[in-house]
Each structure stands twice: as C-alpha cells, then as structure tokens.
Amino acid sequence: MDGNYILYKLILASVILLISLVVAMYSTLLERKVAGFMQDRLGPNRAGIGGIFQPLADGLKLFFKEEFMPGTADKFLYILGPSLTMMIALLTSAVIPWGNSFIINGTEYTLQVADINVGVLYVFAILSIGVYGIMIGGWASNNKYALIGAVRAASQMISYELAMSMSIITIVMMSGTLSLKDIVDQQHGMNWNVWYQPLGFLIFIVCAFAECNRSPFDLPECETELIGGYHTEYSSMKLGFYLFAEYINMFISSAMIATLFFGGYNFPFMDSLNLSHNALTIIGSLVFFAKIAFFVFFFMWVRWTLPRFRYDQLMRLGWKSLLPLAIINILITGFVIMIKNHL
Amino acid sequence: MSANQNIGSLSGRSKIVSNKKMTFAERIYLPAIFGGFRITISHFFKKKATIQYPEETRPIAEIYRGKHVLKRDDEGRERCTACGLCALACPAEAITMIAAERKEDEMNLYREEKYASVYEIDMLRCIFCGLCEEACPKEAIFLTNVTVPSDLHRSDFIYGKDVLVEPVDKRVDISHRQTPEVLAFKKDKNQSHNV
Ligand code: SF4
Ligand code: SF4
C-alpha cells in the first residue's frame, strides 16, 4: 500500500462524500418540485433560475434558526442522535461501486472506496445501526410524541430488515459472492438481476421505502398524529441533519437498488461501442447516476401518490406478506439453482 | 321492500356501504398502486394552475368591486354632499364622515352647499359589497377594479379623502359600473329604492 494509493482513496472518498451531500441537497429541491408538479403547481422557483438556489437558502435558514433544546432533554444523547443518523447515512456509500475503473499509466484505479468481500453484509450491518440515531434522538428529547415516533421507527425498521435481507440473499445465492463489485460485474450488459428476481426486487424496494421511513411507510414522523415524530423537539441544523439524512438514505437506497438489481454501471450494448476502457467507465458512471436519479424520482413519485399505511397494516404487510414471500423466493431460487447444477 | 329503500338520498350521491371481501387483485394493492402512479404522472405533465404573482396577475372583471373612488363632476368639484346615506347603507359600518358647510370662495371645490370635510372608509371593515355606491344619490362614490394593497398597520387601512377623491387631472373611469342602464335603474321611480 503506497502513499499514492492512500491519496487516491482519500480523494475518492471525499468526492463521493461531496457528491452524496450535493445530491441530497438537490433532492430536497427536486422533492418540492415533484410535489408541486404532481399537484399542478410549480414548486419553488424564486431563488435563482427555476429555484436553483433554494436548497442553499434553506440550509442557511436552518443555520440561523434558534438552537432550542428542551430543558429535560439528555444533552449528550440529544446531540448524538442527529450526528449518528447523519454519519450512518453516509457510511454505506463506501462499498458501492460508483463505476468500473480507470487505467492510468498501467495502474488500475477502481471507483469504489472499499471493495470488501463482505460488502452486502456491511450494508446490512450499517442499516441495522441506522435505527439507533432515530431511537436515541426520540428518547433523548423526552417528549411522548418523539418517543412514540422513535419506537415506531425501531419496530418498523427491524421488521422490514428481515424481509429485505431475505430478498438480497437470493441475489447472493445466484451470484455466489458478497462483494458488491462482483455482483455488478456479473450483470454485464443487460444481464440484470431484476430479470431473474422480479419478486425479490419488489420485496426489496418495498422494504427500502420502509427502511428510509419514506411514505407510504413514514409512520415514525407522520405529521398528522405525531407532529413530526422523533424529531419533534429538534430545531435548527440538528433538525436539518435528520431531514438531510433522510435524503441521503434515499440516494444510497437508490444506489443499492441500481447496484443489486439494475446492473450498476452496466448498460446495454456496452461491448459493441468499441470505446476504450476509461471512456466506458465514464459512460458507465453516468448511466449509474441516471439509474439512481430515476429511483430517487420514483421515491418521490410514490410519496406523492400513496397515502400512509396504518400501523397494523404496516406490520401485517411486513410479517405476513413480505417475509413469507421472501422465504418462498429463496426456496424457488435454491430449487432452480439445484436443477441447473444437475443438468 | 321497505319504504326507505325507494327514496334516493337528497344529493343523489349516497352509496350503500359494502363489506364484500376484497378480491386477490385488490388485496395485493399493486393494480391500485399502478393506477395511482398513472394519475400522478399525468398531472406531472399537465398545465400548471399557478399564477406567478408579481409578474402575472389574475385577470379581474371591469366591474370588479375593489377600492372606492369619490368622484368629481365635470367641472372638477367633489360630488359628495355628506348626506350619510352610504354610511347608513353600509352593512359593515365602514364609512365615517364629518359634514361641513361650503364657503363663498369654495364654489369651485364642492358641488353642493354641504360637503364632507372628512370622509373615511376602513378598508379592513369593508366587505366590498357595493351598497354604498347603490345608496348614493349624488353618483359620488363608486367601486373600482383596483385591489386594496396590503399594509403593515391597521391604522393605514383607514383611507381618507386624500386617497379616495379622484385627482382632477387623473380621472377614474367608472363607465363600466355606471352604464346608462344602471343609471336608468337607479332613477326608476317604480323601484323600491326610490319609493
Ligand atoms: S362597499 Fe359595502 S362594506 Fe364597503 S364601504 Fe361600501 S357599503 Fe360599506
Ligand atoms: S358618498 Fe354619496 S351617499 Fe355618501 S355621503 Fe356622499 S353623497 Fe351621500
């Protein structure tokens, strides 16, 4: 491991961090625009051309807001909550292959911060600590609404994690690897996993919505009954962190969906273009971001289409529908793999 | 068959609640969800209803009932004679006035012997019904298609003569509200308002 390599990884990590933040920032604008357009409105369009500076203005406003902390709150945990949420939201981006690799002077530079061979497990691990940020925040603010929101979030995320992991297990079974880069490489061209695992994809995307606390599963923060849920007592940039983390989560989830089911940076006819390796990598990364953009849009599309679930419906869907479906999916996949191996 | 089964609801929109079991397609939600997606995305590309306010304003009718104007006659004299009929007619009690007697040297300022030295309308009380205009025997007060702008203090909404009386050199056109037919109607002795 020479200094060059470490420098390269540092730069790559910073760039990815920056991209995640900027994308999340502009997702807030996009969300408001999409909401507006779907409701026959225009959305914010006053700050800059087409509202391009709106996220900056929003961020600035949050910074200048009064920092309010309830007197009975646990100070340390109160601050830890949003920080943890933000950090965990950003951690997952380390294992996602954002593109193939550049070959410069004979050395190969992959566009992935860490190609660990248990990438999928790493993602699960991060996902399952994601609930702590919310739980700590809701608990520390010493408010019944915040606590109810946090408890809801915890049970919801743990319930849906199961079905989500089970739906990815089929992918792991098919590809025989836990490394995300290998999974992507196996989906060369149009050989995407979604063609083989449509059911797995459906389960995964539903669970991804639940994991991100996005509508129709936004019960932890449902404004109408819980006044914002776990972040009721938060103000200023701490609230901003919670809201921001949601958008980062959305971005990372979209990236995961694109990676696992839609071939990551692979795109059809990539071999017949006769381009150099580096050019292909650039196009591949762009294609990858286009896929992510579509899924981010899809997240918003769903939010402005579907009403919120009731809590018992949410639990019934998670435990009685998605989990059995995921298990059946595993069985079928295993059966098909077995038959294939014996032919 | 009982009697009330034959009677439809008054609005004709009531529905009998059905507790039928949901079909499989309904239970897995997906067809309904895709139906919803179709609807929202179709709205995404529809023409937007937004009117971009300062640059673009909602078109308002010529006979819109907005801010009042106190008219002058052809020679530039104020028409109002401070009879108080408008204040009496006003359902919101928005109008107050103080009457004064015209002096010898004020012949060119006021048309009648008595005039309003103070005439105030509280624009926060006014409901823009136009009854003052209807009540006025001197064709002195009219509503115009100008909206009352927003302001910061309640006191700023009490408009005095300085705002209400039309400038001599910038006459306000009220011909849309005062058409010959309206005038004839106002003067019609057979109508109750003139009895
Ligand atoms: S428009 Fe109606 S409410 Fe307003 S001042 Fe005239 S009579 Fe009163
Ligand atoms: S505006 Fe008309 S009704 Fe009112 S006081 Fe003057 S003359 Fe009389």
Look up the ipTM and state it. Answer: 0.75
Q: Distance between CA B106 and CA A267 in Å, rounded?
A: 89
pLDDT tens digits, B52-66:
888 888 888 888 999
* Amino acid present at A139: W
Q: Distance between CA A136 and CA A3 in Å, rounded?
A: 39
A110-119, B5-14, B44-53, B161-170: the lowest-pLDDT one: B5-14
Residue A274 scores a pLDDT above 80: no
CA angle in degrees (0–180, nearest 5) for B115-B116-B119:
160
Residues of A with CB under 8 A from a CB of B: 34, 36-42, 45, 301-302, 304-306
Give, in order, the Cα–Cα distances in Å from A246 to each of A62, A202, B191.
16, 21, 69
Ranges of each domain in chain A: 3-342
* Amino acid present at B180: P
pLDDT tens digits, A224-257:
677 777 788 888 888 888 888 888 888 888 988 8
Q: What is the mean pLDDT of residues A14-22?
A: 88
Place of tokens 């520390």: A140
* Predicted pLDDT of residue B192: 66
When CB atoms are compared, the residue of B44, B49, B52 closest to A38 is B44
Please name every residue paired with B78 in a beta bridge, in sequence order, or none if there are none.
Answer: B72, B110
Q: Which residue has the higher pLDDT, A73 or B1?
A: A73
The DSSP line for A100-151 is: -EEEETTEEEES-S---TTHHHHHHHHHHHHHHHHHHHHHHTT-HHHHHHHH
Smallest CA–CA distance, residue B53 to chain A, in Å, is 11
**Chain center to CA of B64:** 6
Structure tokens at A338: 């077995």
* Inter-chain residue contact B50 with A38, CB threshold 8 Å: no
Q: Distance between CA A104 and CA A82 in Å, rounded?
A: 40
Q: What is the pTM of this model?
A: 0.77
Q: Distance between CA A126 and CA A64 in Å, rounded?
A: 32
Per-residue pLDDT band at B1 (split at 50, 70, 90)? very low
Contacts of A133 (CB under 8 A, 6+ apart): A81, A82, A83, A84, A85, A86, A87, A88, A245
Residues of B with CB under 8 A from a CB of A: 33, 36-37, 39-41, 43-44, 46-50, 52
> What average pLDDT is seen over chain B?
85
Question: How do strand B158-159 and strand B114-122 relate by DSSP bridges?
Answer: antiparallel
Q: Which residue has the higher pLDDT, A335 or A1?
A: A335
- Output DSSP code: residue A221: G
* Inter-chain residue contact B48 with A41, CB threshold 8 Å: yes
Residue B185 scores a pLDDT above 80: no
* Inter-chain residue contact A38 with B40, CB threshold 8 Å: yes
Taking Cα atoms as reference points, which of B126, B37, B35 lies closest to residue B87? B126
Q: Which chain A residues are within 8 Å of B48, Cβ to Cβ?
A: 36-37, 40-42
Contacts of A253 (CB under 8 A, 6+ apart): A208, A211, A212, A295, A299
Q: What is the mean pLDDT of residues B69-78?
A: 89
Q: Distance between CA B82 and CA B165 in Å, rounded?
A: 13
Structure tokens at A176: 């025989």
* Predicted pLDDT of residue B193: 60
Q: Distance between CA B40 and CA A182 in Å, rounded?
A: 37
Q: Which of A147-156, A212-221, A302-311, B160-169 has the highest mean pLDDT?
A: B160-169
Overall CATH class of domain B68-194? alpha beta
When CB atoms are compared, the residue of A36, A42, A305 closest to B40 is A305
Q: Distance between CA B160 and CA A255 in Å, rounded?
A: 65
Residue among B114, B118, B141, B142 to mutate when testing ligand 2 (max atoms within 8 A of CB) = B141
* Predicted pLDDT of residue A314: 85
* Inter-chain residue contact B44 with A305, CB threshold 8 Å: no
Residue B3 scores a pLDDT above 50: no
When CB atoms are compared, the residue of B33, B36, B44 closest to A37 is B44
Residues with CB under 6 A from ligand 2: B 80-86, 97, 135-136, 138, 140-141
Q: Distance between CA A322 and CA A324 in Å, rounded?
A: 6
For residue A85, the SS3 value is: helix
For residue B188, the SS3 value is: coil
Nearest CA to ligand 2 atom 6: B80
* Predicted pLDDT of residue A176: 84
Ligand 1 center–CA B171 separation, angstroms? 21
Ranges of each domain in chain B: 68-194
Give, in order, the Cα–Cα distances in Å from B111 to each of A100, B73, B142, B155, B167.
90, 8, 17, 30, 16
* Inter-chain residue contact A301 with B41, CB threshold 8 Å: yes
Whether residue A214 contacts residue A167, with contact meaning beta carbons closer than 8 Å, is answered with no
Taking Cα atoms as reference points, which of A130, A93, A113 lies closest to residue A289? A93
* Predicted pLDDT of residue B141: 92
Q: Distance between CA A300 and CA A288 in Å, rounded?
A: 19
Residues with CB under 6 A from ligand 1: B 89-92, 94-95, 121, 126-132
First to last CA, chain B: 59
Whether residue A292 contacts residue A333, with contact meaning beta carbons closer than 8 Å, is answered with no
Taking Cα atoms as reference points, which of A171, A192, A194, A181 lies closest to residue A334? A171
Q: Which chain B residues are within 8 Å of A301, Cβ to Cβ?
A: 37, 40-41
Burial B63-75 (b: 16+ CB within 10 A, else e): ebbebbbbbbeee
* Amino acid present at A170: T
CA angle in degrees (0–180, nearest 5) for A161-A291-A132:
30
